Structure 1
Amino acid sequence: MKTMQWLWPLRVATMGAVMVAGCGGGAAGTAPATPVPDIASYPPVANNAAPGASARAVAAAASIGRGVNFGNMLEAPTEGAWGISVTDDFIDKAWAAGFRSVRLPVRWSNHASAEAPYTIDAAFMARVESVVDKLLAKGFVVVLNMHHYRQLDGDALDSGELAVASAALDVRFVMLWEQIAARFQTRSEQLLLELYNEPHGRLNGEPWNVLAARALGVVRKSNPQRVVVIGPTHWNNASDLAQLKMPNDANLIATVHNYEPFDFTHQGAEWISPPKPTGVTCCSSGQLSAMTLPLDTASAWSARTRYPVFVGEFGAYSKADEASRIRFNRAMRTAMEARGMSWTYWEFASGFGVYDPVALSFKQALLDSLLGS
């Protein structure tokens, strides 16, 4: 078993994990020492007449352009636990390479108290804030999200991850967003807020529609006009867009993730059980069809609902041969952009990455497959 730094985009997570309580929390499901706030205090925004996207939201989706995820950094149980941290050099190099947006995954849930009012650790909040501000100062559009709240999805916890009372999960999610939104309310419109990465498990279907609408309600208290990103369930799978109910709010965009064909993109991935065999190449006509079907599904949904869609994650793990990864990236870039979709590649400097943090240089051919002519 590899260390937890190998937990990249989670569509299949079967690794056993030790549940470790911290910050005053107990094992999942134990009675909290303080009362759990009533989630009815956070009513959901109505979702029965979504108006379609505003001009502001359409422009925001377009402004994402060609971007990259700063993955395995701030969404690790603690920053650095998965091998890399956000550095000023990463920020400078990503901009110089030509990326114009950064999706910033953050595991807020492991840096907040287990009991109400679920206060986010001040040092961690300041750390995330400093990264966001540096990215914005450089000129990036930033998509700031909540990532890997394992219990919220009903998943086993990672080693070193905080467990909280099961009765608190949903209201804690909403109250975390209340704090995050208030902290970043003065930032420019180049900051977008993404409610949650890859909802699945206990959130599938209607539970996510309701919880997302509750979270949007608290975001709107401090950020009435900021563009907010919402994705469907089943790990942001385009097939679940049919079940996604966008709230009655015009300043929204949608996101999907696309790792098809999965046997190619996740071959040899240590966190998949059973492991996908290596040696799978790309890209046959059948594989190209698998890659583009989710994009066509998202395009049709976008046309019907009048909300733009951007692809928040796609990529192929480094166990695939480089020539195939290059073909995959070029084919995906062409297909997404032909459909008018912005994108953020998964990810910058780890197992899917285009930058080598040891050699301090880009994997130029992979980078060119995303940003080259």
Structure 2
Amino acid sequence: MTSRRSVLGGLTGMAALAAFPGMQATRAASDDIPLFRRGIGVSHALGWAEVEADGSYVAAPFSGPRFRFDLAQRQAIRAAGFDFVRLAVDPGPFLAFTGAARDQVDALLIGIVRGLVEADLGVIVDLHPSAMNPAYRPAALTAGVETPNFQAVLGLLRRVAHRLEQSGQGRAVTGAPRLALELMNEPELSQSAWQPMLEAAYRAARSGSATLPLVLGGGAMNAAAALTQIDMRPFAGDARLIYTYHDYSPWQFTHQGVRGNPAYALNAVTYPAPQSAEAMIAASQRRIGSLGLDGAALEQARQAKRTLARYAGFDRSALERTFRQISAWRIAQRLPAHAILLGEFGIHRTPYLDTPEGAAARETWLRDMRELAEAHGFAWACWTYAGTGGFALAENETGPGFDVSTRRALGLLR
């Protein structure tokens, strides 16, 4: 259920700030937005709400065993060295329920936020639509500003922003903020189509709280290029904003084996990519033959295999181009480096990635992404902590802790 669709705000001391370039010069800004540093997505607690056979939500949509998010897990996240959690929240039940049922899911959300803060973790509450209930799938919620579903989303943003502000968990002892609200995860539409909805979502959240830090993305599945195309004029003068993008490049490597993705039929794709794609192409051809694909699915698999020739030679320098583009944009916008959040990056695990070669490639990619984010002064949140689906970072997909290679890649070994 944790496929791609599938804060410690009180850090003090120059030593902690020195690890992130440019932070000393923007220290005063920490009174406006959290100094999030190293985070992890938590998608199994309030994501992918449980539904009945007809698609409607069960009475307690986050109560099954797979939603368990206990004290041991929260403490393990903090003990590993993460300082914040990006909490994925399926908005469907919050939109569908009324009366006492709605009050119960609201209270559940605030309770989980409180538990995370008590574990010394900052929190980004991330509205993260799922396709579990067709009426509240991502595309249905972002069909246009005036649509009933999006108007309901605006009401939810107002409500959640207000409740987070009133929760009493918003600031650390130092006075620095430690909560934020992310307006929408990965809108499935272009930046230009998302812009008016982004502005409406921003206004709605601000009407719920004038001070709560907000996280904004550019649409187009939170692509980096979409972030740099945002019309910033509606947000001018608001220093309590964090700007986010997601990066899973190269998709041939990070999404190999993901059902529904063009990389589903790829296999033994490594990183950094060798100069010759011959071995990767041969391994992928064998996988295509074993899957028994036909028709459009077979053609998509063949097209994906052909992209491996272009992928050959891909390395850290190719990853860094995106970081440089985002840095240039944030400098032009006069934003502090810690106002940029690499909100998701991760790798789908396959049998190949459990081989010595694949495990080394996974560790190298995670390390490169993490080190590049930190070198540019960006906060980061890897995807995701626990759950089925192949992207879980916790040991054995459940944790509570993490294996050594993951901790090493993310700079969490002490």
Q: TM-score, normalised by structure 2?
A: 0.69
Counterparts of 1:358 and 1:145, CA distance in 2: 21
Match of 1:29 in 2: none
Aligned partner of residue 70 in structure 1, secondary structure: strand
For the pair 1:368 / 2:405, whether they are aligned, the reply is no
Alpha-carbon distance in 1 for matches of 2:118, 2:205: 23
C-alpha contact 1:237 1:256 (8 A) present in aligned 2: yes
- Equivalences for 1:64-143 in 2 at 5 Å? 64-78=36-50, 79=62, 83-113=66-96, 121-143=102-124
Identity of aligned residues (%): 25
Q: Which amino acid aligns with 1:113?
A: A
Look up the match of 2:393.
354
Q: Any idea what SS the aligned residue of 1:71 has?
A: strand
Q: Which runs of 5+ in 2 are unaligned?
A: 7-25, 51-61, 171-176, 274-312
Deviations 1:88-109 (A, max 9, x none): 2211110111111100010112
**Equivalent of 2:154 in 171, 174, 190:** 174
The counterpart of 2:179, out of the listed 160, 170, 191, is: 191
Higher RCO structure (Cα 8 Å, ≥6 apart): 1
Task: State the partner residue of 1:330.
Answer: 367
Residue 300 (structure 1) aligned to one of 328, 341, 344: 328
Q: Summarize the alignment of residues 107-256 of structure 1 with structure 2, pairs less than 5 Å apart.
A: 107-113=90-96, 121-148=102-129, 157-158=131-132, 162=136, 167-186=147-166, 187-188=169-170, 189-201=177-189, 204-246=190-232, 247-248=235-236, 249-256=238-245
298-307 or 239-248, larger mean C-alpha shift? 239-248
Q: C-alpha displacement at 1:84, in angstroms?
A: 4.5
- Specify the alignment match of 1:269 in structure 2: 258
Describe the superposition over 1:100-153 as per-residue Cα deviations: whole angstroms up to 9, x where unpaired: 110001011233238xx89981211111111100111122111111111x5xxx
Q: 1:59 to 1:338 in 2, by over 3 A?
A: farther
Within 2, Cα distance between the matches of 1:256 and 1:358?
Answer: 26
Question: Could you tell me which of 254, 268, 271 is aligned with 1:282?
Answer: 271
Structure 1 distance, partners of 2:332, 2:392, is 34
Q: Which runs of 5+ in 1 are unaligned?
A: 11-53, 151-156
Deviation, structure 1 residue 59: 6.1
Superposition deviation, residue 352 in structure 1: 2.1
Shift of 1:277: 0.6
Q: Is the deviation greater in 256-265 or in 159-168?
A: 159-168
**CA shift digits 1:185-224 (9 cap, x unpaired):** 12312101111111122xx223322222222222223321
Contact kept, 8 Å, 1:77 with 1:161, in 2: the verdict is no
Q: Highest CA radius of gyration, 1 or 2?
A: 2
Q: What letter corresponds to residue 108 of structure 1 in structure 2?
A: P
Q: TM-score, normalised by structure 1?
A: 0.76
Structure 1 counterpart of 2:340, one-letter code: V
* Structure with higher helix content: 2
Seen in structure 2, the aligned counterparts of structure 1 residues 263 and 274 have a Cα distance that, compared at 3 Å, is closer
Compare 276-285 and 97-106 and name the one that shifted more: 276-285
Q: Which amino acid aligns with 2:344?
A: E
- Deviation at 1:168? 0.6
Q: Distance in 1 between matches of 2:187 and 2:65?
A: 22
2: CA distance, partners of 1:243 / 1:76: 30
Task: Tell me the residue number matched to 1:154.
Answer: none
**C-alpha distance in 1 between matches for 2:239 and 2:112:** 28
Contact preservation (8 Å) 2:85, 2:123? yes
